[in-house]
Amino acid sequence: MSIIIKSEREIAIMRQAGRIVATVLNILSQRLRPGMKTKELDVIAAGEVEKLGAKPSFKGYRGFPANLCVSVNDEIVHGIPGERILRQGDIVSLDLGALFMGFQGDAAVTVGVGEIDLKARELMEATEGALKAGIAAAHPGARLGDISAAIQNYAELRGYSVVREYTGHGIGREMHEEPQIPNFGPPGTGPVLEKGMALALEPMVNAGDWRTRVGDNHWTVLTADGSLSAHFEHTIAITDGGAEVLTSREGVYAEEGGY
């Protein structure tokens, strides 16, 4: 396994790619409304990414037909935006990649449509918490398995399950580089983390069982038992002191009435 080490200059470009992804995810989160078609989010995503001087990465990737993945309720990842109308109480996972000056940024967020119930909110909070636990475990000298174990433990202690068949990944010039980063597994295993590694951590957490199925469009991944699922992702870089979140949405963009 070879994990590509990025230079300071390359990480600086990835920081800009990450900021573009974060900005557009914030815009999408704020524009999302009951009654909206999911394809409207795709149009906004493409326009805003291009306005910021980047290119949406997902369109055409292995034949994916859209700029943004939109996965609703029991859909886990790789949902294709289209005619589906969002309803009050839905939870929507938005996953976006952008290519800027030859480098990729990749992040995902799950947001509620209007008022959502407590069960959905708790699942979303646990998934974001699992991502934060994974980031906290990522520092030079730690092992890759420490990240996986931290994510799994955080989610399972709260009564949820983590998806097994889809993983986080290394990222850089390519959206998917080595290594694969499972959201489960024993600590103290796998490669040792070093400064300059860039990783996309992305727990997919189900309210019910971890098993999945692929929908009729051959893309959308759903929970096998129909339970709700949430997905949070950040692109991070391993630094001297720990991990820098390159796709942090905090303080990145503010529309009136939001953030």
Site of interaction with Mg ion (CB under 5 A): 106, 200
Q: Give, rounded to a whole angstrom, the gap between the first and last alpha carbons of the chain.
A: 40
Measure the CA–CA gap between 26 and 15, rounded to whole angstroms. Answer: 16
Helix, strand, coil % in the chain, rounded to nearest 5: 30, 25, 45
What's the closest the beta carbon of residue 87 comes to Mg ion, in angstroms?
27
Q: What sign for the dihedral angle of Cα 207, 135, 104, 252? A: positive
Contact assessment for residue 226 and residue 209, using Cβ atoms and an 8 Å cutoff: no
- Residue 180 CB, nearest distance to Mg ion (Å)? 11
CB of 189 to Mg ion, least distance (A): 22
234 vs 241, beta carbon nearer Mg ion: 234
Query: Which residue lies nearer to Mg ion by CB, 61 or 259?
Result: 61
Comparison of 83 and 108: residue with beta carbon closer to Mg ion = 108
Question: From CA 31, how far away is CA 250, in angstroms rounded?
Answer: 17
Q: CB-wise, 17 or 157, nearer to Mg ion?
A: 17
Q: How many CB atoms lie within 10 A of CB 82?
A: 13
Closer CB to Mg ion, 58 or 210, in the complex = 58
Rounded CA separation 69/106 (Å): 11
Least distance in Å: CB of 201 to Mg ion? 9
- The residue to which tokens 């199925």 are assigned: 213
- Residue 8 CA to residue 23 CA, distance in Å, equals 22
User: What's the CA gap between 161 and 85, in Å, rounded?
Assistant: 28
Nearest approach, Cβ of residue 57 and Mg ion (Å): 10
State in angstroms the smallest separation of the CB of 237 from Mg ion. 15
Cβ-based nearer residue to Mg ion, 4 or 36: 4
